[in-house]
Amino acid sequence: MELIEPYTLVWNTLVVRDGILRRLLPATHGAGLAEVVVVPVVPDKLVPRVLVYFHNPLGANHPGIQRTIRAIKQLYWFPKLSKRVCDHISSCSACSLRAMKQKWTQTGVQKAAPPGPWHTVAADLLSVSTDSGNILLLVTLCLFSFWPEVRVLSSKSSQAVALALRSMNAQFGPMKILRTDRGPEFRGAVEEYLTTINAVHSTTLPYSPVSAVEQLNRTILHKLQTVRNCPLWRRIPTVALLDEILWSIRSTPSTVLKIEPFMVMYGRHPHSRCSQGVQQQAQLFEHVEDALNERRADAMLKKTPVQPLRPGSRVFVRCRRGDRGYKVGKKWSLMTALKQDHAKVYLLPTSGYNEQPVERHVRECVPALGHDIEEA
């Protein structure tokens, strides 16, 4: 039998019993890590039948991604199990009608976990107050390994951010997707640099920052505040304190993966020379993908329903002008809702003549009480 790559990567976990190829998987409800279950390996041509059995698009019960993956792993296994489950559920029309699939188009948005370390990176700027003044930091987070990386910036310009990203890519290799908010510091020189390395710039929805990097910002600020209150640590420069904080995060198991980011990034423990083999690294990456896909499934199930807007109703819309002086002036505009397509709303400004329709996210719209137009 000709061996193919997905099976050779997990070769040390495969066994043959009663003439059937099986795989050893960690027990879902086991008391320890050593407890495993032996499940048969499904041939590639039978995988669609297994997927339909556990999640039938025409059936009444539509379990989510997390429940489907766990149910299949209790009885079967096949290569790229998590990815195939995600693709199968994303193509389910019933789940799409229940808003299981995000319909607002964003560049670089993935339906499953990133394929490897330093592939999809989230970035944000963080200003830290010190005794000698403010320090501007570029905070990045690998969304696969949760590896944090920080660079001190000389200014809040796109040129300074591009130089910091170039320094990081020289250490870890070029990223494929950079996920940021809609700040002007991630435009211009940053997008030009991403084009040269064939990377995609993915921006979040308006007023929706990347939650993972925002949580990292809060962790860094909290740890800095804690150590600055200690007289022993106050004598150490802030940049050196940042290195200590980053090392503590890199060497501590994350709450999502239950594995140290250093282990996922480099394939070994910090104080060990022994690196993981190809099979062990493949199993580690499979565990990371499963954890990330389950987390994404939980987030999709907990997503709040989209607020419906009646055509012809008046709404207040957040202004998007980038001028900082505009913050003290008008922040909202009164518009008329023309059409709503899931989370996207087509609006017509009411402030002047010859106004063109605009597209906004439903989160930017607030119904104007008392301004609704009566239907004809």
Burial 255-290 (b: 16+ CB within 10 A, else e): eebebbbbbbbbbeeeeeeeeeeeeeebbbbbebbb
Say how far apart CA 95 and CA 62 lie, in whole Å: 7
Q: What is the mean pLDDT of the chain?
A: 79
* Residue where a domain stops, chosen among 231, 266, 301: 266
CA–CA dist 337, 335 (Å, integer) = 7
Answer yes or no: is 204 within a domain.
Answer: yes
One domain for residues 211 and 245: yes
What average pLDDT does range 350-370 have in this prediction? 74
Kindly tell me if the per-residue pLDDT of 270 is higher than 60: yes
Same domain, 250 and 324: no
Structure confidence at residue 303 as a pLDDT band (50, 70, 90): low
Q: How many domains in the chain? A: 3
Q: With helix as H, strand as E and coil as C, how does 10-34 read? A: CHHHEEEECCEEEEEEECCCCCCCC
pLDDT, residue 1, reads 47
Span 60-84, mean pLDDT?
85
- Report the chain's C-alpha Rg in angstroms: 25
Statement to judge: residues 241 and 179 lie in one domain: yes
User: What are the beta bridge partners of residue 194?
Assistant: none
Together in a domain, 251 and 345: no
pLDDT of residue 150: 94
pLDDT exceeds 80 at position 317: yes
Count the helices and strands in the chain (H runs, E runs): 12, 13
Residues 124, 246, single domain; the answer is yes
Q: What pLDDT, on the 0 to 100 scale, is given for residue 128?
A: 87
Please give the structure tokens belonging to residue 21. Answer: 């190829």
Q: Smallest Cα–Cα separation from 302: which of 64, 38, 36, 39?
A: 64
Question: Would residue 298 count as lying in a domain?
Answer: no
In 132-164, which positions are buried (b, 16+ CB within 10 angstroms) versus exposed (e)?
Answer: eeebbbbbbbbbbbbbbbbbebeeeebebbbbb
Specify if 115 maps to a domain.
Answer: no
**Same domain assignment for residues 90 and 127:** no
Residue 23 tokens, joined: 């795989």
> For the segment 1-47, what is each residue's pLDDT rounded down to a tens digit?
445 677 777 777 888 888 888 888 877 654 444 577 888 999 889 99
Q: Which of 144, 120, 103, 141 is nearest to 202 (CA)?
A: 120
Instruction: Give the rounded percent of residues in the chain with a pLDDT score beyond 70.
Output: 80
Question: What's the CATH code of the domain at 124?
Answer: 3.30.420.10
pLDDT at 134 over 60: yes
Give the tokens for residue 61.
């019960």
pLDDT confidence of residue 3? 52
pLDDT band for position 254 (50/70/90)?
Answer: confident
177-180 and 200-203 strand pairing? parallel
- The predicted structure's pLDDT at residue 323: 44
> Domain of 55?
5-97
Tokens 């990371």 appear where? Answer: 288
**Better pLDDT: 284 or 16:** 16
309 or 107: which leads in pLDDT: 309
pLDDT at 228 over 80: no
pLDDT at 307 over 60: yes
Residue 353 has pLDDT above 70, yes or no: no
Q: Which amino acid is at 335?
A: M
345 and 249 co-located in one domain:
no
* pLDDT score recorded for residue 129: 82
In the predicted structure, residue 101 carries a pLDDT above the cut 50: no
Same domain, 223 and 356: no
Alpha carbon of residue 166 to chain centroid = 22
CATH of the domain at 64: 1.10.340.70
Residue tagged 């002036």 (tokens):
329
Lowest mean pLDDT among 58-62, 93-97, 140-144, 177-181: 93-97
